[in-house]
Structure 1
Amino acid sequence: VEPHRPPVATTSDGRRRAQIDTARTRLAVGAGAFGLLFLALAGRVVDVTLLSAGQPRIVAPPQAVIAEEPRVERASITDRNGVLLAASLPTAALYANPREIADPAEAARKLATVLHDLDPALLAPRLEGDRQFVYIRRHLTPREQDAVNRLGIPGVHFQRAERRVYPQGRAAVHVLGGTDVDGNGIAGVERAFDARLRAEVGTPLRLSLDIRVQHVLREALGRAIARFEAIGGAGVVMDVDTGEVLAMVSLPDYDAAETATAPAEARFNRITVGVYEPGSTFKILSTAMALDLGTVRLTSGFDASRPITYGRFTISDFRGKNRWLSVPEIFAYSSNIGTARMVLEVGVPRHRAFLERLGMTRRLGIELPETALPLAPGPRQWREINTMTIAFGHGISVTPLHVATATAAMVNGGILRTPTILARDGASPPPGERVIRAETSATIRRLMRLTVTHGSGKGADVPGYFVGGKTGTAQKVGANGRYLRDARISSFTGIFPAHAPRYVVYLMIDEPKPQRDTHGYATGGWVAAPAAKEVIERIGPLLGIVPEPETETIRAALAITLPGQAPPARPPRMYPPMMRAPISVLALLTA
């Protein structure tokens, strides 16, 4: 019998045992790692909940990525309230180097597939030759730029460009003006302040315009032009104390982005360039002058019972009263005869000197390059007949802005200030020149209110705003220097509130046609006064002026009476007898 022996391990058994040992080792290492991890987490939990309780940690906020403002070379323009009127936007311009283009016809054909306004037949010849630079398109949208870039045409490149945009479109076009394709100012504010807009790119140019008032004025003026089938019109709203122009409209107009291509009639600014006979709106100045110089008083009067014949000129009244009229009646009823006699009491030298002080013989100093010189007789030609006709706004031609500026001086206490289209931030009014006494100014305010309540300006009255004003109607002058029978300028210059004026509103309609509902009339009272009423009742709330009831204080400030009929104060003056004939403006300027 053989003795018992232990079994000998085979090679396969040894390998299996080694694998088991390796697995056990890995399990032990893994368990140890997980154990350490759990211990770390447990320690962190203890630290946060027990050891660091009540001690919040300040974590720095994430840094926002702010896009860089696109660089432009021209400052923006805003209205007085910061509303954007003009701005420059960066764009891309497309150009080509013909030397680098192998097949001009093919390049032109490809470009026309993404830029549809291009004509390949016209573009291809421009891409030929030995030139190194040819503009293809000045302003591309990002989508168009990407499309051109995808074409991969050698010799076609992009250049940084800038485009001037006007968010308000036509609203303030005659003030803003415009720029050419190279960004140079060519009209209006863009031209007048070209250097400033280039030098101070980061600071917007702030104008005195209120775009809300601008829109209202343009809409009302447009409706009046359409209703009376006129060829155009103009309007301005001005602060009587500062000379700031809050609105300036000339119709027809155009889109500001098309300044270089707009027709001449649309680019013509009737407010600062157009010169017209102001008609009876000039009686504000004539009456103020006579009262201020003391040649008449409110209780004075003149014979207006029959026309004045002076040489070959005849001065008459439209729908006259044909009797003696007091000064308030002359103003309220707009008597040419009474006004002419009243100004003759002042005399020719003092009359001309007064109008010169008001700027009626020179350009206004507003910050616009487009201004006109009034048409007035020279010192040697200014005679007695000129004084008589200019007294009621004939024989002299001025811009609507001249009338509005002078009216502001007549009602603000007597201070003439240069009009401006720049916003003024000062608490006190800018300096000016005294042209009439404060007492005279107060009287003119009362007379202007009287014209709206009892005279030709009734159509402009707005309850609670105590509007004062003066209508004007003047025949237009033809090429031969004579007045045109059926062509007139109808206007209204108003103030509100009359007891403490804040704003002047001037409207002018060019060649209005009589309508059936106006009984065949197209005068200032029928045409311009109602348009002014619409403007005032809409812009009053926008400008913070609330309608108010008539108090004793207001009634006292505007109190004035129309005296009854009285006999002439003196025998009527006799004038040189000659053949009677209609007044000719050419004759008035050269008489």
Structure 2
Amino acid sequence: MIGRWRAKKEAEEQDSGSGRIVVDGIGKSTGGRARTRILITMAVFFAVYGVIAGRLTYLGFQDLEEGGPGPSRVTASRPDIVDRNGEVLATDINTASLYAEPRRIVDADEALEKLLTVLPDLNIEQTYNRLQSDAGFIWLRRQLSPRQQQAIMQLGIPGIGFRTEKRRFYPGGATASHIVGLVNVDNKGIAGMEKYIDDQGLADLQATGLAVAKDLEPVRLSIDLRVQHVVRDEIVRAMESYRALSAGAVVMDVRTGEVLAMASVPDFDPNNPYNAHDKDRLNRMSAGVYEMGSTIKSFTTAMALDSGKVTMESRFDATRPIVVGGRRIRDFHGKGRVLTVPEVFIYSSNIGSAKEADVVGIEGHREFLYRLGLLSRMDTELPEVARPTEPKVWKKVHSITAAFGHGFSTTPLQTAVGVSALVNGGYLMPPTFLIRNQDQAMASATKVVSDYTVDGMRYLYNLNAEKGSGKRGTVPGYRVGGKTGTAEKVVNGRYSNEKNFNAFVAVFPMDNPQYIVLTVIDEPKRENSTRSATAGVTAAPLASNIIRRSAAMLGVKPDFGHESSALLVSSQ
């Protein structure tokens, strides 16, 4: 190496001007190497930062794929739900949700052990596997209480944190649970009016990030929270008192079709809906179908009057049972004589009702029930609506039994809607759970029965409350009319005389009908007995209690000047 250096030096000294050239050449060589080093260093830095940026981008996508919803995907806002008077039924509140970043968890065993001291119901195996995974983000528990959040913060576990989310809160608890409905953990409506609101476009707004709390107007329902509380309180008492399987009631404005209150028990607390999907928590008023018993005789008599073939003076022979299709039709408390139309109604004669239907005929009977909305799926905002059932082919036996409420099933709410049309001037209008005035209601209404039929039915409801089975459903001063229905339930393919589904439909005030109250009780029992009880002693008093407590709230003033015999009132 030394020899090569000397040879190079000698060659440089022989060159003319060698001193300048030698110095210059060495400077150029040194500067080139420096520039090369700088470029190499910059390239290394760019490469390192490029790798880091690429890795971060990759991990960003991996967080969403491996860990489920990432920290940026939090619950969206929902509008408040209020009753007709502005009382809050549902609102959003802020709550903390617990998440973990498994890649930052130092010791999964220790982290899990600490978390279990605050959240003992965590799934141990599943949580452990997730904590020691390579995921970038996982939810551990959504919607913590403030106490739980504080306790977890004090544990000092690295790699876990909290996100503020929206949680739905229902101030009334179970009071209107079947109407208001439910949301899931992501604040999406899954039942009741909560689901209806999403279906009207809220879900799309949330998906695009446009569901901003300050821009969402409250959704105003037709429900009166005061009346709703009365209804639920009374049906809970009735179910307990009569040791029944369930009970329910609905209060409707016959002039607008607005549902002012509706409840069914057993129900659930939407703030803690662990049992909301149990089969016995079904909303029986709109999502359950039943043979409604003698309340259906309202439609049979109305059909006969509306046909023009029967008048209030017509008579039907009920001296002996009738046999049709191998079935023997008899009266529960038969009079054994010819009955007028009012007597058929107030004595709830099966024989008389069957003969009323026979006058109209099979096709006319089925058509009338469809016209009154009893055999079609109900059109309303509430998603939980059942489809009625009927015989595939109607024969004479089906028409005869349908005349007194056997052989086809419909919902209690539809029954109330149909009765509304019989007393409000003859107009069938779809029920609504939203605010609606009378003009809006009439725009969607259909004239289904004549004024003559309306006059007759008002008279019969009033008469039945004074002299028939509806006596226990009356309230002094409020001019209540109504009809009972005691339906024997089908057990193992046969009607049982020990298990009843009871109903009572009440209308008030009868001189100018404004409201309907329909009550139902499933398998009620007599006091101090295991035997079944009838509608007259169960469903009728339940309706009376609801009217007595809520009439003033509905703006109906008592009038004791009308406590006299039934009058044939005009529908005009």
The question of a shared fold, defined as TM-score above 0.5 by the shorter chain, is answered with yes
Which letter maps to 2:183? Answer: T
Paired residues of 1:412 and 1:501 also in contact (CA < 8 A): yes
Paired residues of 1:239 and 1:504 also in contact (CA < 8 A): yes
C-alpha displacement at 1:552, in angstroms?
Answer: 10
Paired residues of 1:172 and 1:249 also in contact (CA < 8 A): yes
Paired residues of 2:499 and 2:532 also in contact (CA < 8 A): no
* Structure-to-structure mapping, 1:485-524, within 5 angstroms: 485-515=497-527, 522-524=533-535
In the alignment, is residue 83 of structure 1 matched against residue 87 of structure 2?
Answer: yes
C-alpha displacement at 1:550, in angstroms?
Answer: 2.3
Counterparts in 2 of 1:447 and 1:126: CA distance versus 1, 3 Å: same
Q: Give the Cα–Cα distance (whole angstroms) in 2 for the partners of residues 172 and 119 of structure 1.
A: 33
Aligned to 2:349: 335
* Structure-to-structure mapping, 1:87-486, within 5 angstroms: 87-113=91-117, 123-195=127-199, 196-198=201-203, 199=205, 201=213, 202-259=216-273, 261-378=275-392, 381-425=393-437, 429-431=441-443, 432-479=445-492, 481-486=493-498
C-alpha displacement at 1:109, in angstroms?
Answer: 3.6
Unaligned runs of 5+ in 1: 1-70, 560-591
Q: Give the Cα–Cα distance (whole angstroms) in 1 for the partners of residues 222 and 346 of structure 2.
A: 33
Q: Give the Cα–Cα distance (whole angstroms) in 2 for the partners of residues 386 and 120 of structure 1.
A: 59
Paired residues of 1:253 and 1:267 also in contact (CA < 8 A): yes
SS in 2 for 1:209: coil
Q: Give the Cα–Cα distance (whole angstroms) in 2 for the partners of residues 528 and 360 of structure 1.
A: 21
* Structure (1 or 2) with the greater helix fraction: 2
Counterparts in 2 of 1:551 and 1:505: CA distance versus 1, 3 Å: closer
C-alpha displacement at 1:190, in angstroms?
Answer: 1.4
C-alpha displacement at 1:137, in angstroms?
Answer: 1.9
TM-score by length of 1: 0.78
Q: Give the Cα–Cα distance (whole angstroms) in 2 for the partners of residues 114 and 521 of structure 1.
A: 50
Q: Give the Cα–Cα distance (whole angstroms) in 1 for the partners of residues 448 and 537 of structure 2.
A: 32
Counterparts in 2 of 1:282 and 1:119: CA distance versus 1, 3 Å: closer
- Of the structure 1 ranges 235-244 and 124-133, higher mean CA displacement relative to structure 2 is found in 124-133
C-alpha displacement at 1:203, in angstroms?
Answer: 0.8
* RMSD over equivalenced CA pairs, Å: 2.5
- Of the structure 1 ranges 263-272 and 317-326, higher mean CA displacement relative to structure 2 is found in 263-272
Paired residues of 1:177 and 1:259 also in contact (CA < 8 A): no
Counterparts in 2 of 1:272 and 1:121: CA distance versus 1, 3 Å: closer
Aligned to 1:31: none
Paired residues of 2:523 and 2:532 also in contact (CA < 8 A): no
SS in 2 for 1:256: coil
Counterparts in 2 of 1:145 and 1:517: CA distance versus 1, 3 Å: closer
Q: Give the Cα–Cα distance (whole angstroms) in 2 for the partners of residues 434 and 419 of structure 1.
A: 15
C-alpha displacement at 1:370, in angstroms?
Answer: 1.4
Q: Give the Cα–Cα distance (whole angstroms) in 1 for the partners of residues 266 and 323 of structure 2.
A: 40
Counterparts in 2 of 1:250 and 1:278: CA distance versus 1, 3 Å: same
How many residue pairs match? The answer is: 486
Q: Give the Cα–Cα distance (whole angstroms) in 2 for the partners of residues 516 and 261 of structure 1.
A: 31
Q: Give the Cα–Cα distance (whole angstroms) in 1 for the partners of residues 156 and 290 of structure 2.
A: 60
Paired residues of 1:72 and 1:90 also in contact (CA < 8 A): no
Counterparts in 2 of 1:427 and 1:344: CA distance versus 1, 3 Å: closer
C-alpha displacement at 1:259, in angstroms?
Answer: 3.5
C-alpha displacement at 1:527, in angstroms?
Answer: 1.2
Which letter maps to 1:387? Answer: S
Counterparts in 2 of 1:402 and 1:228: CA distance versus 1, 3 Å: same
C-alpha displacement at 1:263, in angstroms?
Answer: 4.7
Match of 1:530 among 531, 541, 547: 541
SS in 1 for 2:331: coil
Aligned to 2:561: 550
Paired residues of 1:72 and 1:88 also in contact (CA < 8 A): no
SS in 2 for 1:297: coil
Q: Give the Cα–Cα distance (whole angstroms) in 1 for the partners of residues 222 and 476 of structure 2.
A: 27
Q: Give the Cα–Cα distance (whole angstroms) in 1 for the partners of residues 532 and 561 of structure 2.
A: 32
- Of the structure 1 ranges 492-501 and 104-113, higher mean CA displacement relative to structure 2 is found in 104-113
Paired residues of 1:259 and 1:267 also in contact (CA < 8 A): no
SS in 2 for 1:186: strand
- Of the structure 1 ranges 172-181 and 124-133, higher mean CA displacement relative to structure 2 is found in 124-133
C-alpha displacement at 1:488, in angstroms?
Answer: 1.1
TM-score by length of 2: 0.80
SS in 2 for 1:90: strand
C-alpha displacement at 1:383, in angstroms?
Answer: 1.8
- Of the structure 1 ranges 326-335 and 125-134, higher mean CA displacement relative to structure 2 is found in 125-134
Q: Give the Cα–Cα distance (whole angstroms) in 2 for the partners of residues 388 and 114 of structure 1.
A: 65
Match of 1:73 among 77, 99, 103: 77
SS in 2 for 1:550: helix
C-alpha displacement at 1:237, in angstroms?
Answer: 0.8
Structure of larger gyration radius: 1
Which letter maps to 1:370? Answer: E
C-alpha displacement at 1:428, in angstroms?
Answer: 5.9
C-alpha displacement at 1:517, in angstroms?
Answer: 9.1
SS in 2 for 1:534: helix
C-alpha displacement at 1:117, in angstroms?
Answer: 5.6
Aligned to 1:64: none
Which letter maps to 1:256? Answer: P
Q: Give the Cα–Cα distance (whole angstroms) in 1 for the partners of residues 171 and 105 of structure 2.
A: 39
C-alpha displacement at 1:162, in angstroms?
Answer: 1.6
Counterparts in 2 of 1:325 and 1:254: CA distance versus 1, 3 Å: same
SS in 1 for 2:296: helix
- Of the structure 1 ranges 155-164 and 317-326, higher mean CA displacement relative to structure 2 is found in 155-164
Which letter maps to 2:198? Answer: D
Unaligned runs of 5+ in 2: 1-74, 206-210
Counterparts in 2 of 1:97 and 1:375: CA distance versus 1, 3 Å: same
Q: Give the Cα–Cα distance (whole angstroms) in 2 for the partners of residues 247 and 278 of structure 1.
A: 20
Q: Give the Cα–Cα distance (whole angstroms) in 1 for the partners of residues 497 and 532 of structure 2.
A: 13
Paired residues of 2:427 and 2:449 also in contact (CA < 8 A): yes
